[in-house]
Structure 1
Amino acid sequence: MTHLSVVPGVLYLVPTPLDFGCLTDGEVPAPITQCLPGDTLAIAAQLTHWISENAKSTRAFLKRVEALNGLAAPLQAQHIAELPRQAHKKGDHAPATSSDNEARTLLAPALLGHDMGLVCEAGMPAIADPGSSIVRAAHSMNLEVRPLAGPMSLMLALAASGLNGQDFAFVGYVPQDPAQRSKRLRELEAVALKTGQTQILIETPYRNAALLQALLQTLHPHTRLAVSCGLSLPRQSSRSALLSEWKSRGLGAQLPLNLPAVFLIGR
């Protein structure tokens, strides 16, 4: 008897809209087609196995997909596995035996022939969000990895900043302690001014105002600061100016800092 070998599934990196958890009461989300192309939505509709940062946000995303494309399986029949809590708190970008082994377990359905989707709450998985351990494991298991087109706040903010888009670095979060935060900001500014490399950082929305205030107090007047808030949302706003102008024009007061934001330092 001839046994047919199973063709492994593909791991799709599925971007999601940037508005999850950001809309106020009564605010209606924009049509999902405004931020995700048809091909991405069509592939997402055909997947039935998911690795997710948050199962609740994934189900909310699939409901929006379902409104346009019929799902291959009803929402209640979708297989949604969450990334380990450790990946949420400390990230999973550093190679580690535990996270890579857990990732292989989560990818087991792909070895049985199921295409799988990797998703985060908003934006592109594994970029400023957990998921890189899944991608590493997929490559080591000889699974095909296909990133799909969709919104990525870091790149949108960089494009809107007027800063160097040829040489840039995403540095993630800065310390919360005021003294350590100021020290880190001065280090990033020094790199930006010396090399011309744009420094990109983020913060939890409820600490955005504190970070902006620290930037205004720490950076030199001739340093350029750009801030983009609520990208792709109805209240989105991007501002880019020399630090002296931020202070003289009161630009910070014009920003919806309660929304997710990206901060950029350069020259």
Structure 2
Amino acid sequence: MKGTLYMLPTTLGDVDLRVVLPDYNLEIINRLTHFIVEDVRTARRFLKKVNSKIDIDALTFLILNEQTQEKELPALLQPLKEGHDVGVLSEAGCPAVADPGADIVRLAQLEGIRVVPLVGPSSLLMALMASGFNGQNFAFVGYLPIAFDKRVKALKILEKRAITENQTQIFIETPYRNIKLMEEMVEHLQPATHLCVAVDISIPTESILTKSVAAWRKALPDIQKKPTVFLINK
């Protein structure tokens, strides 16, 4: 009998686990011995936080990150085929959402392996919930282009969708480029367009503010090197 692939959300920052994860998640994690992870050190720290008495050395960690090649994916499913339940852990938040975990889930589905997503924090959905923007028509577009001309063009396209379709546009940036992106948005987006900036979601320093671009121009937020989700709508 094949094992079950559990999608295990992790915290988005330094916060009490009980604030963001149900007890059921912790029960599942405590009985698993096999994990597919992006980074072993991060995974070990998280599991120790879940259970300080856990025998880390008795666990099996398999790596799935941006460097994992497609031909390596079948080997990650071998413990499941042998009957072991396996947990997928991302670096932060929900696995398989904006991270490589989707690749192993796709293959597991093709192999007839049961996939169970557990409840936990998603910075994208939590930002949308608190933005005041349309939650029935939205799109997550990931990272914008790095090149200036292409990024401004992408912003204009997203703004047009937001205005004409009332579709909330959600995107992220590498934290050390947050301020640069913010400066470009307030310069090139229309003054009446609304921009939500969601920072440090679910941790004590959380800030989620929605203002018009015109209002943001008066004072930019302190978001440099902080995990941030950006949303725009009409």
TM-score (normalised: structure 2): 0.96
- Residue 164 in 1 paired to residue 134 in 2? yes
**What number of residue pairs does the alignment pair up?**
234
Q: Is the 8 A contact 2:66 2:100 kept in 1?
A: no
Deviations along 1:29-52, whole A, 9 cap, x unmatched? 322111111001110111110111
Q: Is the 8 A contact 2:37 2:65 kept in 1?
A: no
Structure 2 CA distance, aligned partners of 1:189 and 1:52? 35
Deviations along 1:80-134, whole A, 9 cap, x unmatched? 01115425xxxxxxxxxx51x4222101001111000011100011101111110
Candidates 202, 210, 225, aligned match of 1:258: 225
Give how far 1:154 is off.
Answer: 0.1
RMSD: 1.3
Deviations along 1:141-185, whole A, 9 cap, x unmatched? 111000000000000000111111110000000111111111110
- Residue 153 in 1 paired to residue 101 in 2? no
Residue identity matched to 1:10: T
- Residue 120 in 1 paired to residue 90 in 2? yes
Identity among equivalent pairs (%): 42
Structure 2 CA distance, aligned partners of 1:258 and 1:105? 36
Structure 1 CA distance, aligned partners of 2:183 and 2:76? 42
Q: Is the 8 A contact 1:230 1:256 kept in 2?
A: no
Structure 1 CA distance, aligned partners of 2:163 and 2:15? 39
- Residue 215 in 1 paired to residue 209 in 2? no
Structure 2 CA distance, aligned partners of 1:237 and 1:33? 20
The structure with the larger Rg is 1
Give how far 1:62 is off.
Answer: 0.4
Structure 1 outlier segments of 4+, above 4 Å: none
Hey, what does 1:26 align to over in structure 2? none
Hey, what does 1:139 align to over in structure 2? 109
Superposition pairs for residues 1-267 of structure 1, below 5 Å?
Answer: 7-19=1-13, 29-67=14-52, 71=54, 74-87=55-68, 99=70, 101-248=71-218, 250=219, 252-253=220-221, 255-267=222-234
Structure 2 CA distance, aligned partners of 1:165 and 1:212? 23
Residue identity matched to 1:155: L
